[in-house]
Amino acid sequence: MTDPALPADGVPAPLRRSPLHDATSASGASFTDFGGWDMPLRYGSDLAEHHAVRQAAGLFDISHMAEFGVSGPQAAEFLDAALAADVSAIAVSRAKYTMILAEDGGVIDDLIVYRNAEAEYLVVANAGNHDAVAQALLERLQGFDATLADATEALALIAVQGPLARQILHATAGLEHDDDKAMGHTLDTLPYYAIMGAVFAGRPLLIARTGYTGEDGFELYVDAATAPLLWSALLEAGTPLGLLPAGLAARDTLRLEAGMPLYGHELGRDIQPAQAGLGRIAPPASKAVDFVGRAAVEAGPAADSRVLVGLAAEGRRAGRAGYAVLAPEGEGGAAVGEITSGALSPTLGHPIALAFVDPAVAAVGQVLDLDVRGSRIPARVVALPFYTRKK
């Protein structure tokens, strides 16, 4: 997430509201500014919402995400040149996690690209980077026979995440299979990072088997007008099975346990993908065509550039974003890094953090200290992710 820039008069723009604002408010949401949107932070207990996702399911309004449709005879060639992924190699109904990079290799945003038809793609970006992604795509579109359409206002996005997510979708009244839209899939056969069409209340929608929690689950793209009815139907179907509406606070601890990066914390304009452990996706070894930022990421960051690691500590005091990571006192005690995200893990019961540290102290097993409000808290570098769901 990034903070939206202030307009020239210095007065912040009014917060945008999700098509589900009234529905989530009726469910008891308290709201916060996230990427310029007034979004549910929590509905009650952050811990209860977190545990519901790990044990049953959570229902998220994530309609703040930015969506762009790309279509036309050269849609694939355009996205191949604009993004790090080998987009033309994505099969119809499949998805790819990728990035849109600047010329210097810095990350403008991380994205998911879905291929909905032979010459039709859906690009999903972070809310706070909507304008930056739109501008970069528009600039890179020049010379290609393709069309870029901003679908953010037209679509709502609802996530059902957790081990019972599929069961809940099956139980949702009005959600129906349609052979003509399903791209050869069913809810039971839809692979991870794939998408299918379906029908709800007579209206088309897209169901993707993707998420940002470390659990199995689905993300449903539906027109804004139909979204409140779908929210209610999912809530009615899922509540007897333990589903809870869940907000951004739970989503953050869930993604942290899963070791997933958050833009503005683990990713940014001054961070190359390789530093965040994502060099494998930018560029993929199989991608032959050039794309913006390729030369920079192939050259790589400076040898002494800090790299992202996972840190685990004991006790209950968690390091937070911005806190220093220190060498042990017996090794000089100097600052060797900085935490980007941290929390007391609800699932694991101990503090965890993501941090950028000097390469010399990045090996798994390395002992370090966290500076938590002036106190040294021992921690060690651990392999990511912190949590992996049971298959």
- Interior angle at CA 312, CA 311 and CA 316, nearest 5: 130
Q: Are residues 161 and 248 in the same domain?
A: yes
Annotated binding residue at 219?
yes
Question: Alpha-carbon Rg of the chain, whole angstroms?
Answer: 21
Higher-confidence residue of 314 and 256: namely 256
**Close Cβ partners of 330 (under 8 Å, ≥ 6 residues apart):** none
The average confidence (pLDDT) of the chain is: 96
- Please give the pLDDT value at position 9: 64
Q: How far apart are CA 179 and CA 353, in angstroms?
A: 45
pLDDT at 284 over 80: no
Q: Find the mean pLDDT for residues 114-125.
A: 98
- Please give the pLDDT value at position 33: 96
What percentage of the chain reaches a pLDDT higher than 90? 93
- Please give the pLDDT value at position 283: 77
Within the chain, residue ranges assigned H as helices are 21-26, 46-55, 75-82, 130-141, 165-171, 227-238, 248-257, 294-299
Q: Which of 124, 150, 176 is the C-terminal boundary of a domain?
A: 150
Q: Are residues 27 and 175 in the same domain?
A: yes
- Please give the pLDDT value at position 391: 77
**Close Cβ partners of 303 (under 8 Å, ≥ 6 residues apart):** 359
Q: Edge-to-edge, what's the strand order for the sheet holding 30-34?
A: 16-17, 37-42, 30-34
Q: Are residues 145 and 191 in the same domain?
A: no
Query: 346: domain CATH number?
Result: 2.40.30.110
Query: 24: domain CATH number?
Result: 3.30.1360.120
Q: Are residues 50 and 161 in the same domain?
A: yes
Q: How far apart are CA 192 and CA 187, in angstroms?
A: 11
Q: Are residues 184 and 246 in the same domain?
A: yes
| Domain assignment of residue 33, given as a range | 16-61+154-256
With respect to residue 337, please indicate whether it lies within any of the assigned structural domains: yes
> pLDDT tier at 1 (50, 70, 90 boundaries)?
very low
Higher-confidence residue of 332 and 22: namely 22
- Please give the pLDDT value at position 5: 44
> pLDDT tier at 282 (50, 70, 90 boundaries)?
confident
Query: 118: domain CATH number?
Result: 3.30.70.1400
> pLDDT tier at 285 (50, 70, 90 boundaries)?
confident
pLDDT at 364 over 60: yes
> pLDDT tier at 7 (50, 70, 90 boundaries)?
low
Q: Are residues 115 and 158 in the same domain?
A: no
- Please give the pLDDT value at position 4: 40
Q: Are residues 48 and 158 in the same domain?
A: yes
Domain count, the chain: 3
Q: Which of 120, 150, 180 is the C-terminal boundary of a domain?
A: 150
> pLDDT tier at 13 (50, 70, 90 boundaries)?
confident
Sequential DSSP letters for 108-152: EEEEEEEEEETTEEEEEE-GGGHHHHHHHHHHHHTTSS-EEEE-T
Instruction: Express each pLDDT in 141-189 by its tens digit.
Output: 999 999 999 999 999 999 999 999 999 999 999 999 999 999 999 999 9
> pLDDT tier at 286 (50, 70, 90 boundaries)?
confident
pLDDT at 104 over 60: yes
Ramachandran bin of 285, using left for φ above 0, alpha for ψ from -120 to 50, beta for the remaining angles = alpha
- The answer to whether residues 78 and 141 touch, using CB atoms and an 8 Å cutoff, is yes
- Please give the pLDDT value at position 2: 41
Instruction: Express each pLDDT in 218-269 by its tens digit.
Output: 999 999 999 999 999 999 999 999 999 999 999 999 999 999 999 999 999 9
Q: Are residues 56 and 200 in the same domain?
A: yes
